[in-house]
Amino acid sequence: MPVRDRLLREFLAAIEKKEQQQLIELVEDNQPYDIAQILLIINAAQRKELFQHLPNWLLADLIQELDHEDQQLIISEISAKKTAQILTEMSSDDAADLVGELDDEKRQELLALLDDEEAIELRELLQYPENSAGGLMTTEFVVIPKAYTACEAIDKLRELAPDAETVYYLYVVDEEEKLIGVLSLRDLIVAGPETIIAEIMYERVVSVPTDMDQEEVARVMEKYDFLAVPVVDMSMKLVGIVTIDDAMDVIKDEVSEDIAKFGGIGGKEAGVQDLNIGAFDAAKKRIPWLALLLLIGIMSGNIIAQFEETLDQVIILAVFIPMIADMAGNTGTQSLAVVVRGLATGEFIGKDALRLIKREAGVGVIIGTVNGLLISVLVALWQQNIWLGFVIGFSLWVTLFFATLAGTIVPLLMDRLKIDPAIASGPFITTINDILGLTIYFTVATRFMEYLI
Amino acid sequence: MPVRDRLLREFLAAIEKKEQQQLIELVEDNQPYDIAQILLIINAAQRKELFQHLPNWLLADLIQELDHEDQQLIISEISAKKTAQILTEMSSDDAADLVGELDDEKRQELLALLDDEEAIELRELLQYPENSAGGLMTTEFVVIPKAYTACEAIDKLRELAPDAETVYYLYVVDEEEKLIGVLSLRDLIVAGPETIIAEIMYERVVSVPTDMDQEEVARVMEKYDFLAVPVVDMSMKLVGIVTIDDAMDVIKDEVSEDIAKFGGIGGKEAGVQDLNIGAFDAAKKRIPWLALLLLIGIMSGNIIAQFEETLDQVIILAVFIPMIADMAGNTGTQSLAVVVRGLATGEFIGKDALRLIKREAGVGVIIGTVNGLLISVLVALWQQNIWLGFVIGFSLWVTLFFATLAGTIVPLLMDRLKIDPAIASGPFITTINDILGLTIYFTVATRFMEYLI
């Protein structure tokens, strides 16, 4: 990263010389994200120096770029008074997130140091669930009267100088603060200066309620290509907006969460892939899941124990235990992925469930037939035993059919029960299907045992 | 979906009465995405009617909202001439995508019907790989001279009336068309009308090369919270911009792809979760993968066949085959998920690989110890056999250690070899680890056989 290294050198030089103007210019001339990374690389003494020289609004921009954990580290180094000053300059959504992560005592101390108005606003934002539209929204948005001309609106914007992320739509509300219109900054610029806002505003406004799940909010924005979406309370009063940068983060976290859940390493908490987490803490997160699967694994073993007599007589049957179990798991995971993917992209709705189950049942029959025939021939040739080929092939056929169905129905049921189906992840479906597959296998083998001995 | 139903009724009524003005208003007053969905619900005759009444620029807006497949369906119903007229009104990135999906003959026919200038532009765009910044970018962007005042720039914008998605940044280039500055529409509005662009433009412009992978482009935009990012060619000439809506789509598709790859249902092609795909076609996509895994499954069987003698003497060993195999697969999948997640979110860089391997080795030792002890005690109690407990526990301990390492190293190696590590998906790692686990298990059991008989 030569660019960042160069930036770091420039920074350290400016800090050492305590050249305030140069520091401010460096911060203003570069991306806040890049500067924020440098904030984490330099040591506490250098940070202290930097915090003395930079204005609070610039510090707010930098702190907004950091993860929650890094934010807590940084503010633990500065006084509550300074923190309050920086908070005042932050977007309300970022400020609320930061304050929400503090322990109760520290939070009260900070809120007491803020303006009454700001403290009330933050307290209100903190009441929304973290994963809802209310928890994601900022209360900074631009409202203009519908009787304004485009030119007056532009003058007002110039006066307000709102943040970049909140300026791209202007909202129109009635006397009860209900949302009645929206127009984009582009519409405002393109319209003639004397055009009245009411004439160019868009009246069928798409808005989201405060309690909508954040992933759904992101989906609405993605679907309609919005840069921001207004959030309304139960009386349709405009209370905030969710901006595209936050929606992007939600979608990005969703990628990461889904992968984590598929692997059974826990979804919600970030940081399992954080290299700074030690082996012990990383293991601690995975062990409960593995221990559970260990116990279920003993259940598969118990199936085999039930058929010990069969196995004792036809020991070659043991050879195909992993193949049957794995194939059951693999095909179940494929169906699971289809369901989870469809639910994640919002392509399924409830009533499609039955169609999907029927389709997957068909898939199960086809892949069962193809793989069953294939293994019959292979086993018959390998072991020079046509009956063994038949038993293995027939068992696989039945197993793949039921395994496909289980991989479809289990996540759909979970979704219906409001359990995240991505948690019905690979290992879980695999284990269920193992038990299914082994039971079918040994039942079939026992039935045809006379031909195998 | 009561809103869409209402909209559909309004639409059908307007089409029936052939009320052009009402149709245009309906389309303008609603979200293009919602109208595009209606386009797919109504029948071909109704679509034909609609296409006669709507202006081409509105039709372009609607067609841009559709999937590639749906676009092809719609344009197959209209003449090449009309298609060319609509193409002219589309964003160049969307137009290029649509033309790129056509067969060669149809493409040439369409390009011949376009203006020379437009045809050349499309041909140029078609030359970039689909998944690169060049393939994602639009060539519509706003360039202003650095000597303009803010007021002159606003007047120019009003005259150009660019599309919403392309207006939020203005670019400044030198006489060789090299990118030398950028400013946001917000900066332009907030600045005094007489401010010179050169004074407020941002000179350290972040840009991406035409050949950057689209996922990396999306990551840059997400990191810096950009609404658009400029794309430059090798001589740093500004050739296009990638807008946030396209970046969102890339990230969304990535979620979907990763889930699909984890399930071994194929990543690149969309539509596996599409309910309209029949069982036969869905099965066809999954069978090659399953058949491959079937063959590898026979390899695990072969391991057991090697130890048939051991197994014949201590038949109870068969009971723990699925447990050992599953646990090896599960722990490997957990490590895999850590690696894939870290790579997907861009948190790892190459040199972190060794640290990660060390960390995961530590995790392997810990989870091996915990689960090994647990199963030893359980087996000793269940089977009333301390030596069997020891053999199973010790085997599991060794297996979990190596399985964790394999789950870490295999995807890292794949990444190094430029193979997408998400393809080292659950089933693949599971199967490798099965073979590993069974070999360890039977080797240990054979070594301690005298105590087991």
Residues 6+ apart with CB under 8 A from A71: A63, A98, A101
pLDDT score recorded for residue B9: 86
- Of the pLDDT bands very low, low, confident and very high (cuts 50, 70, 90), residue B73 is confident
B94 reaches A (C-beta below 8 A): no
A155 reaches B (C-beta below 8 A): no
CB B167 within 8 A of CB B161: no
pLDDT score recorded for residue A392: 94
pLDDT score recorded for residue B345: 63
Contact flag B279-A323 (C-beta cutoff 8 Å):
no
Q: Is the pLDDT of residue B260 over 70?
A: no
Rounded Cα–Cα distance for residues A424 and A215 (Å): 19
Q: Are strands A208-209 and A179-184 parallel, antiparallel or unpaired?
A: unpaired
Facing residue for A321 by CB, picked from B318, B341, B352 = B318
CB A125 within 8 A of CB A92: yes
Facing residue for B356 by CB, picked from A225, A275, A320 = A275
- Give CA separation, B443 vs A76, A315, B174, B319, B392, in Å: 54, 18, 72, 16, 11
- Of the pLDDT bands very low, low, confident and very high (cuts 50, 70, 90), residue A270 is very low
Homologous superfamily (CATH) of B279-452 is: SLC41 divalent cation transporters, integral membrane domain (1.10.357.20)
Contacting A residues, span 261-300, partner chain B, CB-CB under 8 Å:
262-265, 272-275, 277-280, 282-283, 286-287, 289-291, 293-294, 297-298, 300
pLDDT score recorded for residue B233: 93
Concatenate the DSSP letters of all residues of A148-217 into one string. -BHHHHHHHHHHH---GGG-SEEEEE-TT-BEEEEEEHHHHHHS-TT-BHHHHSBSS---EETTSBHHHH
| Among B93, B104, B98, B94, CA closest to B78 | B98
Contact flag B264-A337 (C-beta cutoff 8 Å):
yes
Q: Is the pLDDT of residue B267 over 70?
A: no
Q: Is the pLDDT of residue A30 over 90?
A: no
Rounded Cα–Cα distance for residues A160 and B222 (Å): 26
pLDDT score recorded for residue A289: 76
B348 CB neighbours in chain A (<8 A) are 273, 275
The Cα of A229 is separated from the nearest Cα of chain B by a number of Å equal to: 13
Q: Is the pLDDT of residue B326 over 90?
A: no
**Of A80-84, A279-283, B269-273, minimum mean pLDDT range:** B269-273
Q: Is the pLDDT of residue B271 over 60?
A: no
CB B287 within 8 A of CB A370: yes
Facing residue for B352 by CB, picked from A161, A275, A290 = A275
A167 reaches B (C-beta below 8 A): yes
Residues of chain B with CATH 1.10.357.20: 279-452
The average confidence (pLDDT) of chain A is: 86
Contacting A residues, span 398-417, partner chain B, CB-CB under 8 Å:
none
Query: For the residues A124-133, what does the mean pLDDT come to?
Result: 90
Topology adopted by domain B2-136: MgtE N-terminal fold (1.25.60)
Contacting B residues, span 422-451, partner chain A, CB-CB under 8 Å:
422, 426-427, 430-431, 434, 438
Instruction: Tell me the ipTM for this assembly.
Output: 0.71
Residues of chain A with CATH 3.10.580.10: 142-246
Model confidence over B28-72: pLDDT tens digits?
888 888 888 888 888 888 888 888 888 998 999 899 888 888 898
The Cα of B228 is separated from the nearest Cα of chain A by a number of Å equal to: 11
Query: For the residues A148-176, what does the mean pLDDT come to?
Result: 88
B397 reaches A (C-beta below 8 A): no
pLDDT score recorded for residue A271: 46
Query: For the residues B181-196, what does the mean pLDDT come to?
Result: 90
Q: Could you tell me if residue A264 is left (phi over 0), alpha (psi between -120 and 50 degrees) or otherwise beta?
A: left
The answer to pTM > 0.95 is: no
Contact flag A430-B326 (C-beta cutoff 8 Å):
yes
Best probe of the A interface among B256, B330, B392, by most A CBs < 10 A, is B330
B185 CB neighbours in chain A (<8 A) are 167-168, 185-186, 189
Best probe of the A interface among B10, B152, B186, by most A CBs < 10 A, is B186
pLDDT score recorded for residue B269: 45
Model confidence over A356-412: pLDDT tens digits?
888 889 999 999 999 999 999 999 998 899 999 999 999 999 999 999 999 999 888
- Of the pLDDT bands very low, low, confident and very high (cuts 50, 70, 90), residue B371 is very high
Helix B279-306 crosses helix B426-447 at what angle (to 10 degrees)? 20
Residues of chain B with CATH 1.25.60.10: 2-136
Contact flag A294-B355 (C-beta cutoff 8 Å):
no
Q: Which residue of A has its CA nearest to B66?
A: A223
In chain B, % of residues over pLDDT 90? 33
Residues of chain B with CATH 3.10.580.10: 142-250
Single-letter code of the amino acid located at B75? I
Best probe of the B interface among A246, A273, A300, A317, by most B CBs < 10 A, is A273
Rounded Cα–Cα distance for residues B410 and B339 (Å): 10
Highest CATH level, class, for B142-250: alpha beta
Q: Which residue of B has its CA nearest to A301?
A: B319
Rounded Cα–Cα distance for residues A328 and A180 (Å): 55
Query: For the residues B369-398, what does the mean pLDDT come to?
Result: 93
Which has the higher per-residue pLDDT, A99 or A269? A99
pLDDT score recorded for residue A389: 94
CB A76 within 8 A of CB A106: no
Q: What CATH number was assigned to the domain covering residues A2-133?
A: 1.25.60.10
Residues 6+ apart with CB under 8 A from B238: B141, B143, B171, B173, B177, B178, B179, B207, B230, B231, B232
Rounded Cα–Cα distance for residues A64 and A85 (Å): 14
- Of the pLDDT bands very low, low, confident and very high (cuts 50, 70, 90), residue A12 is confident
Query: For the residues A123-144, what does the mean pLDDT come to?
Result: 91
CB-based burial, A440-453: b 16+ in 10 Å, e otherwise = bbbbbbbebbeebe
Q: Are strands B179-184 and B208-209 parallel, antiparallel or unpaired?
A: unpaired
Q: Which residue of A has its CA nearest to B338?
A: A273
Look up residue B296 and give its two tokens: 């590898």
Query: Residue ranges of the alpha helices (H) in B54-148?
Result: 56-64, 68-76, 80-89, 92-100, 104-113, 116-126, 133-136
Look up residue A284 and give its two tokens: 């601690």
- Of the pLDDT bands very low, low, confident and very high (cuts 50, 70, 90), residue B275 is low
pLDDT score recorded for residue A59: 92
Homologous superfamily (CATH) of A142-246 is: CBS-domain (3.10.580.10)
CB B440 within 8 A of CB B398: yes
Query: Residue ranges of the alpha helices (H) in B275-418?
Result: 279-306, 308-313, 321-344, 353-383, 386-416
The Cα of A43 is separated from the nearest Cα of chain B by a number of Å equal to: 22
Look up residue B273 and give its two tokens: 């979760």
Contact flag B321-A322 (C-beta cutoff 8 Å):
yes
Contact flag A322-B337 (C-beta cutoff 8 Å):
no
